[in-house]
Chains A and B, each alone.
Chain A
Amino acid sequence: MRVVVDLTKCQGYAQCAFLAPSAFQMQGEETLLYDPSPAEDAQVRRAAAACPVQAIQLDRVAAHDMPLLGVTPGVGAGRIVIVGASLAGLRAAEALREEGWSGSLTLIDDEPYGPYDRPPLSKQALGGHIRPDRTGLPHRADLDANWLLGVRALGLDLPARRVQLSDGTAVPFDRLLIATGVRARPWPVPAEGALDGMFVLRTRDDAIALQQRLLPRDGSRPGRVLVVGAGFTGSEVASTCRSLGLEVTVAEAARTPLEGALGSAIGSIAADIQREHGVDLRCGVTVERIEGDRRVRRAVLSDGEVLDVDVVVAALGGLRNVEWLEHSGLAVGPWGVACDAGCRAFDVNGVVTDDVFVAGDVARAPNALFGYQFLALEHWANAVAQAEVAAHNMVSDESDRWPHLHMPQFWSAQFGNNIKSVGVPTFADEVVIAQGSVADRRFVAAYGYKGRLTGAVAFNHAKWLPFYKRLIEQAAPFPPEFDRVDRPDDALPVPAGVPDRALLARDATVVVTGHRPTLVRSIR
């Protein structure tokens, strides 16, 4: 049985962990770690039904688990091809069928596995609680799709309506969805990157390799682990290493961990948390080089220090998988594929196309909530929501197009803390602790830009975020002045410490990238 929890929705009510404790565990007060492939079990179904926010999805196989597909005559003609069969691609495929699409449906992905969930890879999988190859995403049994797995899309021939594949074949389409996502940014020096002991973490194979190295083998365990980059992935890897009892150094070029996503004011709290948990955190330093003979031995830092290390995890953010679109005539660049709020891709002239759609991490679309800025979001919930909008628009009439008016949301589990965000914290100049206590690690931080509330971040306080989401949607004033429960006495707005764009480009989760799609290439 396959399980996935929409942790964007999860508010830590723990009902699942009470009712199916072998499959769902709470770490700290509201961080949920779960087994994505538990034994088929009445307890798991009970847990899924009990979720107060209905965030637990199981394989939908039984009739009462899903609405029957209502196939609408007339929308079934033709071929839809989806390139990228991860979360966004899968969700789009399901949504197309739920919309009544009865034509042919082909999913293409260069990984040989079916769709799997990535967030558990840096947490429960890396820590050895579950097998990294058992995070397959649940989906409906009646998808009726052609799966072309283990083949890479090499090019897109728009005039001929064909996707060229690495096996020499070409797949024709009438409508195309681009959902090729992001890959891990490799270590910049290939010779060092090839050393035994160098890792990145993005895919299932990455997680299997890294887990094997981190877990004790024959009673021996690795020496110091160096994590380069303290964004979410790097911080989560460091957290897992500490929970395994490993010595960890984290090297971060910015002033604090998570600075690219949360700014340095809140990032400094993340720094304190890392140090409290025994991480040797070094901010404002870069790694000059990695030394070793076949194996990783030493890391030389920009401050001159030399560290003896056994394992290096390069958590340097992601690169969007757009190379195959280089000559397609679409508006592509390092920020992804530009599209309109209805997920239709722009061509290189900024003219919207009719039959090519984009969803997930590879998409960048204007968001009305944030001044129509083009946002490129590497968020689980965005992938799901955008895929659903894209699927709807792919099979709907011009008069029935949906806009993707998504409020960005993400989460991270690290060092026993549940960090959740709504809005765009980096679209901010100031931040204030709105509720709770930083010292207790239970608080909500509200972010503002020019007197307007633009984001909120909760540390172990997720149940309050729906309130702030509503306020952000309403463009409520910042700082919040109303009387409320658990308002800190001494909280005053401080500069949010949002870094400049060069840093955002490397490790941000939310990227605000300028107005016009034709400007994409100028931001390198």
Chain B
Amino acid sequence: MTTAVASVFNAVLDPVNRHDPYPLLTSLRRTPVTVTADGTYVVSTFDAIAALLHDPRVSSADISDLAEKSSSGATSDLVGLPPSFLRLDPPAHDRLRRLATRPFGPPHTPHRVADLEPTLASLAGSLVAAFPPSTVDLVDQFAYPLPVQVICSLLGVPMADEPRFRAWIDEALIAVQPDRTALADLAQYLGDLVDQRLSALSGPATEPGDDLLTALATDSGPDGRMSRSELVSTAMLLLIAGHETTVNLIANSALVLLRQPVWRDRLLEEPEMVVPFVEEVLRYDPPVQMLPWRTALDDIPLAGTTIPRGASITLLLAAGNRDPEQFPEPDRFAPDRRPAQHLGFGDGIHYCFGAPLARLEAQVAIAALAPVLTRARLLEDPPEYRLSAVLRGPRHLRVALG
């Protein structure tokens, strides 16, 4: 732990370095567990991160009395909603996640995601077909509209309302302190939608929709049903996480193809390569760079140091994904590397809820995009990045088509 190391982490957070944080992450990894000036423990090697993701002494809850400082950014108490399962520990986490999984995936709804493939392919195809002839922004005209349409139709949120909630979400994510008004507006909006579903069902003979909001509002399994406020909280999590991260996964994938056209050519020769290609993007340039807001419930000996009880912990997934102990030649993009176990979606009980959907969306999107990129040139390299150090991706990806 040195001031120099701590300031490296500050440099990671600095938007100036957003276009390429990886050399900084390499420096950080020399000290697997680092303390920053504000007392946060930053963890950067694969083994140490993986260990903490399975460690029951690490809490994901917002524990301000235990933590030395209260963590910022929790959506929970800001708008009077209970925390989503992202910020809960078992058993409350497990119950809510099971409830949310029931209409989304196995064992109760095993075909939901796999059955989306044709829809995704036609959506991606029509977006590509609508590209203007000269230049296109692959974020605004491809990477964003695909996942947002998917999450809206999956959740049962009208696509027509997208401009409204997009503004709220942007405000909430960009601000250093999440904007209370924006999140409250979003919560109000989703709460109204939930009430509509509930009243529609008690009304005369309406066919219930096949969307998650309807299912979560009405379903009743072994764990019962979510309360209204739990449901709004879950819907907020799924709506925000459900597309922000996938936008960046698709955009980061597109950037690899533009910078290293050899992979574009491989994809055109071997279409099934798209599967390991997206896995490697999740390792090489993950859309979720770090997991902040975890707390040590007890002293945790790790990598030659001890994270003290009450300390706030940040897990640098992107650094672990470039750990040479786990990945030989970690800075080389190599979709055929084996083994390919990475931290792109986290690990343990908080493993990304939407991971299967994100994978499928990115695979289908990149398969549709690759042929177009044979005649594409990146206009701005590095591109302008989003401000967030947590959710990393280009704000725009303008290419010339020719």
Q: Which residues of A are at the interface with B, using a C-beta cutoff of 8 A?
A: 13-15, 17-21, 25-29, 42-43, 45-46, 49-50, 52-54, 64, 66-67, 434-437, 440, 442, 463-467, 470, 482-487
Residue of chain B at shortest CB distance from A466? B54
How many Å from the CB of B59 to the closest CB on chain A?
6
Closest 4 CB pairs of A and B: A18-B356, A484-B56, A486-B90, A26-B106
User: Nearest residue in B to A17 (C-beta to C-beta)?
Assistant: B106
Q: What's the tally of chain B residues with a CB closer than 8 Å to chain A?
A: 47
Interface membership of B137, Cβ < 8 A: no
Closest to B356 in A: A18
A483 in contact with B309 given A17-B105, A19-B359, A442-B94 (CB within 8 Å): yes
Given contacts A54-B341, A482-B298, A485-B59, contact A42 B107 (CB under 8 A): no
Question: Are B90 and A18 within 8 A (Cβ)?
Answer: no
The CA of A436 and the CA of B110, in the complex, are separated in Å by 26
Q: Are B107 and A25 in contact (CB-based, < 8 A)? A: yes
CA distance A465 to B298 in the complex (A): 19
Tell me if B348 is interfacial: C-beta within 8 Å of chain A: yes
Please, which residue of chain A has its CB at the minimum distance from the CB of B271?
Answer: A42
Instruction: Pick the residue among B56, B114, B340, B345 that contacts A485 (CB under 8 A).
Output: B56
* B325 CB-CB contact with A under 8 Å: no
Q: Is the CB of A64 within 8 A of B336?
A: yes
Given contacts A46-B275, A49-B276, A485-B90, contact A18 B106 (CB under 8 A): yes
Known A64-B336, A67-B338, A463-B348: A19·B56 in contact at CB below 8 Å: no
Contact with A along B33-58 (1 / 0, CB 8 A): 00000000000000000110011111
Among B107, B112, B275: residue with most chain A CB under 10 A:
B107
Task: Enumerate chain B residues within 8 angstroms of A26, measured Cβ to Cβ.
Answer: 106-107, 110
Taking chain B's interface residues, is the majority helix, strand, or loop, or is none over half, making it mixed? loop
Cβ of B390 within 8 Å of any chain A Cβ, yes or no, is: no
Q: A49-B276, A53-B341 are in contact. Are A21 and B111 (CB under 8 A)?
A: yes
> How many residue pairs bridge A and B at CB < 8 Å?
120
Q: Are B90 and A14 in contact (CB under 8 A)?
A: no
The answer to whether residues A482 and B57 also contact, given A18-B105, A64-B273 and a CB cut-off of 8 A, is yes
Residues of A within 8 A of B339 (CB): 54
Question: Assuming A25-B106, A434-B56, what are 8 further A-B pairs, CB within 8 angstroms?
Answer: A17-B106, A18-B357, A46-B360, A49-B276, A49-B340, A440-B91, A464-B54, A482-B297
Write the nearest CB–CB distance from A462 to chain B, whole angstroms. Answer: 10
Complex contact B363–A29 (CB within 8 A): no
Are A483 and B297 in contact, CB atoms less than 8 angstroms apart? yes
The answer on a CB contact under 8 Å between A18 and B98 is: no
Which of these, B55, B98, B110, B338, contacts A467 with CB under 8 Å?
A: B55
Q: Is the interface of A mostly helix, strand, loop or mixed?
A: mixed
Within 8 A of A (CB), among B299-316: 299, 309
Residue contact B347 to A470, C-beta cutoff 8 Å: no
* Given known A-B contacts A19-B114, A45-B272, A50 and B359 have beta carbons under 8 A apart: yes
Question: Could you tell me if A21 and B114 are in contact, using CB atoms closer than 8 angstroms?
Answer: yes
Contacts of B338 in A (CB 8 A): 66-67
How far, in whole Å, are A439 and B50 apart by their CA atoms in the complex?
29
Report the Cα distance A46→B360, complex, angstroms.
9
Proximity string of chain B (327-364) to chain A, C-beta cutoff 8 Å, 1 when within and 0 when not:
00000000010111100010111010001110110010
Q: Is B279's CB within 8 Å of the partner chain A?
A: yes
Contacts of A27 in B (CB 8 A): 107
- Are A29 and B110 closer than 8 Å at their CB atoms? no
CA distance A42 to B117 in the complex (A): 12
B355:A15 contact, CB within 8 angstroms: yes
Min distance, Cβ B43 to any Cβ of chain A, angstroms: 15
Q: Shortest Cβ distance from B266 into chain A, in angstroms?
A: 10
Which of A20, A467, A487 contacts B114, CB < 8 Å? A20
- Contact partner, A43, options B114, B276, B351, Cβ 8 Å: B114
| A46, B356: Cα distance in complex, Å | 10
Supposing A54-B340, A436-B90, A442-B94 touch, asked if A19 and B106 sit within 8 A by C-beta, the answer is: no
Which B86-124 residues sit within 8 Å CB-CB of chain A?
A: 89-91, 94, 98, 105-107, 110-114
Within 8 A of A (CB), among B46-77: 50-51, 54-59
Question: Are B336 and A45 neighbours in the complex by a CB distance under 8 Å?
Answer: no
- Distance between A240 CB and nearest chain B CB, rounded to angstroms: 17
Q: A64-B276, A484-B57 are in contact. Are A19 and B356 (CB under 8 A)?
A: yes
- List 15 A–B pairs whose Cβ atoms lie within 8 Å, in order of A's numbering: A15-B355, A15-B356, A18-B106, A18-B113, A29-B107, A43-B114, A52-B341, A440-B91, A466-B50, A467-B51, A467-B56, A482-B299, A483-B57, A486-B89, A487-B56
